[in-house]
Structures are given as structure tokens and as C-alpha cells.
Amino acid sequence: MKKLFVLCCVVCLQIVTAQNKFTVYFDTDKYELSEPQVDSLANWIKQNRSSKIISMHGFTDQVGTVIYNDTLSQKRVQNMYHLLKPYLQIRDDFELQSFGKNHDLEKDQAKNRRVDIFYLKEDELALENQILGIQRQPISPHATLAEKVNNAWVGDKIELPNIYFRIDTFAMLPQSKPIMDELANILLQNPNLVIEVQGHICCQPRDTRDLSTQRAKQIKRVLMRYGVKEHQVRFKGLGSTQPRFTIPEQSEAERAANRRVEIEIIKN
């Protein structure tokens, strides 16, 4: 009887096992790779430097006691984790877990002495949470900007409240400082976070002066002054191409809704 040790994120097995998989094999009673397997692993790493590991499953063959094989499979997974960590992204929410069940043994015992590595390719990372079946946490309408960002997925847009500019200019008014302080702090505390600042205008069908772009660019400039890394902030002007209310608007509330600044989560 053998147990399966798993280094995994907290997701359902049926979801995890549907992902891309790479396997390394071990000699009998060994938890370190043989030279041919080291070469195989190195070649896989070279081809997947932009991929992200989501879990690792360790197995043993049927030789030996349950306790012995539990320890051996755990060492195999731990060894692989330490080998891969310097080179590839690995989800933060990994844990070492024993399922306490037998796995389906292959007739070829050599195939049972292995670690399966499950991973997402670069073009899948934008939908990482959706692919893994991770559910969004309910969030209050009164949540702080930090709470909204922490709960956001790649592609989500979040409106920045209380950003004010002088009329017909990109000069930011002092009343904008509290939300800029908060946004800068979020970016400084999350160096892997990348956002795109998107500017919108109201009242006219065309942004003839490209004011929306200039305002979005100004927000990036201000964030740089806080010490935010340049690569963390992109900017784009969308003019009046995405109004919430038909132009011309019927009230100041509608104009304010159209005249807004949003951030889109590019990477988190």
C-alpha cells in the first residue's frame, strides 16, 4: 500500500490534473534525480521559464512499508520544489498534504517512482484563477481600494474614486491626494502587481485634445514620484468610447459617471 504526497494549491484534484503535466522519475529508494533525469528536467525548465507550477504529486512503488514510502514520496516532492523554485513561478498557496489513499499502480514499477509536475503555460496565466476553479470572495460595496485590488483577477477594472483635475487640463487637484496615497501604497507593497490606468471623458463624442490619455499619463507620473516602479503602471486614454451613459448626458451625475479614471489589473 502506498500513499500519495502532494505539494499542491488548495484546488480540486479533478481541476489540477486537467492541466499541463511534466513527470520526472526516480531510481529505487532514491529521492534525488539521476543524471539523465536532471538533463530532462533542465531541458523542460529552459522551455517553460514563463510557466507557473500549480502543484506536484509524489509517488512511490509498492516495495517497502507504508511509513517508509510516505517519507520517501514526501522527500521526492520537497526535493523537486527546492530544485524548481529558483527558476520558475510557483503558486504561493502550496501546501504539503497526504491524501491517505493508494494510487493506481502501473505494472512497470519504474513509472510509479515519480513526481508529476502540473503547470500553466504563459498564455494561460491571465485566466489562472478561473482555470483552477478558485471562487471570488464576496466583497462589500464599501470595500477599500486595497480590498478591491486584492480580490481582483487579471482583466478586472476598478474605478478610482475622488480623482480630480482642473477643468480641461490634466493638472491634478490636491483633493486627489488621499486616493493617490492609497494606490501608491498598494503598488509599493505588491511589487508583482501591474496595472493600466485608463482615462475617460464626458460630454463630447470625440477626445480631440487626447485629454483622457494625458490624465492617465499624469496619474502614472504622480505614482512614479511615490517610488512606484515604472513597469508596474501602464496608461491609456479611452476618450468617450466607453461611456456609461449616452452622450450628451442628461445630468451632472451622468457626466461624472462618464468622466472617470479606472485601473485594469494586468498582472497580480
Residues 21 and 125 in one domain: yes
Residue 97 has pLDDT above 60, yes or no: no
Q: For 37-74, how does the pLDDT look when each residue is reduced to its tens digit (9 = 90+)?
A: 999 999 999 999 999 988 888 888 888 788 888 888 88
The average confidence (pLDDT) of the chain is 84
Instruction: Answer whether residue 250 is part of any domain.
Output: yes
3-state class (DSSP) for residue 126: helix
The confidence score (pLDDT) of residue 103 equals 59
Residues 200 and 244 in one domain: yes
**Cis bond upstream, residue 248 (ω within 30):** yes
Q: What is the CATH number of the domain that holds 229?
A: 3.30.1330.60
Residues 152 and 103 in one domain: no
CA–CA distance, 75 with 58 (Å, rounded to integer): 9
Residues 111 and 153 in one domain: no
Phi, psi of 155 (to 5 degrees): 100, -15
CA–CA distance, 165 with 146 (Å, rounded to integer): 23
Residue 18 has pLDDT above 60, yes or no: no
Beta bridge partners of 115: 24, 58
Buried b (16+ CB within 10 A) or exposed e, 188-227: eeeeebbbbbbbbbbeeeebeeebbbbbbbbbbebbeeee
Alpha helical stretches, state H, the chain: 13-16, 35-47, 66-84, 128-131, 145-151, 177-189, 211-225, 252-258
Residue 263 has pLDDT above 60, yes or no: yes
Q: Is 132 exposed, middle or buried (0-12, 13-18, 19+ CB in 10 A)?
A: buried
What is the pTM assigned to this prediction?
0.60
Residue 7's pLDDT band (cuts 50, 70, 90) = very low
Sheet with 194-199: list strands edge to edge: 157-159, 261-267, 194-199, 233-237
Residues 125 and 41 in one domain: yes
Residues 91 and 190 in one domain: no
- Going from the C-alpha of 177 to that of each of 151, 160, 180, the distances in angstroms are 23, 12, 5
Q: Cβ distance 145 to 186 under 8 Å?
A: yes
Which of 103, 130, 157 terminates a domain? The answer is 130
CA–CA distance, 229 with 88 (Å, rounded to integer): 22
The fraction of the chain above a pLDDT of 70, given in percent, is: 88
Average pLDDT over residues 19-40: 93
Q: Which domain holds residue 161?
A: 145-267
Instruction: Answer whether residue 76 is part of any domain.
Output: yes
Residue 158's pLDDT band (cuts 50, 70, 90) = very high
Instruction: Answer whether residue 243 is part of any domain.
Output: yes
Residue 237 has pLDDT above 60, yes or no: yes
The confidence score (pLDDT) of residue 179 equals 95
The confidence score (pLDDT) of residue 188 equals 97
Residues 19 and 124 in one domain: yes
Residue 87 has pLDDT above 70, yes or no: yes
Instruction: Answer whether residue 135 is part of any domain.
Output: no
**Number of domains present in the structure of the chain:** 2
Q: Report the length, in residues, of the chain.
A: 268
The fraction of the chain above a pLDDT of 90, given in percent, is: 46
Q: Which amino acid is at 219?
A: I
Average pLDDT over residues 176-199: 95
Which of 69, 102, 130 terminates a domain? The answer is 130
Quickly count: other Cβ atoms within 10 Å of residue 71's Cβ. 16
The confidence score (pLDDT) of residue 221 equals 96
Residues 35 and 149 in one domain: no
Q: For 203-224, how does the pLDDT look when each residue is reduced to its tens digit (9 = 90+)?
A: 888 888 898 999 999 999 999 9
